[in-house]
Structure 1
């Protein structure tokens, strides 16, 4: 193997390391919870829209402190903020299940369009239930072609089954869910929850492995950690030195 080939291989490995790391993040929330609304609109959404968002593998789980009971083949729910929240949780669940990106929405991925829609719902339901639930309004804003599918899902058995599944996921939390929203990193609850509520970006960065991306090393008050760019430059220099010696 020539020195140039070795250097190229080195860069491929480094780039793979730098781009492969994604932090699994799960957000357990409620559709009409003020704290959930604030976290999603003020912390999660801006962070996911920033360059840091590409390092997050996000899972949204609307359920929170709801309770459920099975009556025959039906599932009935009692929700933290009342019946309107049960409907809202179903709309969220059905949207997460059914949203698709059409050929005219090249600016979105399916995941980013879901986040746009959920954020829209959370912003517009801050005055709910004094107004109509904004499921259709947000669907029109983001040109979702299958709002009717989402609406039908929320009003039928499918919505109940999806919400039941979210309840089962919530029940598996250890320790059990006591506050909403609850944010887990790498499927674990720890002290990062408190930080995530006020500075989600920093919480994500604390869960990433070195070398950290520049999106983390450039955060205000961040510790002086060697950035990915610096790391690449250093290894590049090393590769060139080795090439000269060969």
Structure 2
């Protein structure tokens, strides 16, 4: 009996692993104060998320056209110091989140709120809405961990050498046409790729 139970559990685990392998990997490379990043996340990604979430493994990389100086002693960002601050806050919050939907909701909230004001706050409302403690995110932000998360974001960004912000990468391979299509029809683009493994999806 134990042997049969083990075989069943093993089979179920294999099915679960196979389903994970079939998920569409999406990497979103963006910046906290980039108007095009804001537009893509709020007008394309977030409204489509509920339709694709079951079939997607998404990763957010908030860095864009930034660069580290002196091994992360400080960073230079395309839209100035406030963008560096926003990127780092997001890195810390995203590192603490384990649920993809909460990640999407947090990024959508943060990008919306952070882009409203010239005097940037810390995105407290979005952090709390995500179920995180503001103090924990601030501790990460002020520590070496915050720096290391941004250094890793830089490495990940350099690896694909994006010419655009945002850049959307599917299954870890950049494709110019998919990039262009995603900016105006993210749902349609993602669903087309999802259907290769999940014909009844979307």
CA contact (8 A) 1:63 1:163 kept: yes
Corresponding position of 1:23 = 24
Alignment partner, residue 123 of structure 2: 135
Identify the residue that residue 225 of structure 1 maps to in structure 2.
none
1:3-82 equivalence runs, <5 A: 21-48=22-49, 50-70=50-70, 74-82=72-80
* 1:172-219, Cα deviation, whole Å (9 max, x unpaired): 11xx2111000000111111000111111111122231552241xxxx
Name which of 152, 162, 169 aligns with 1:177: 162
Paired residues in the alignment total: 185
- Deviation for aligned residue 1:52: 2.1
Q: Structure 1: which 5+ residue stretches go unaligned?
A: 1-11, 101-109, 216-246
Per the alignment, in what secondary structure is the counterpart of residue 73 of structure 2?
strand
Of structures 1 and 2, the one scoring higher in RCO (CA 8 A, sep 6+) is: 2
**1:94–1:150 Cα contact (<8 Å) kept:** yes
Correspondences of 1:185-204 after superposition (within 5 Å): 185-190=170-175, 191-204=177-190
TM-score where L is the length of structure 1 = 0.69
* Higher deviation after alignment, 190-199 or 200-209: 200-209
Gaps of 5+ in 2: 1-11
**3-state SS of 1:91 partner:** helix
- RMSD of the TM alignment (CA)? 2.2
- TM-score normalized by structure 2? 0.83
1:52-131 correspondence runs (5 A): 52-70=52-70, 74-99=72-97, 110-128=99-117, 130-131=118-119
Q: CA deviation at 1:139?
A: 2.2
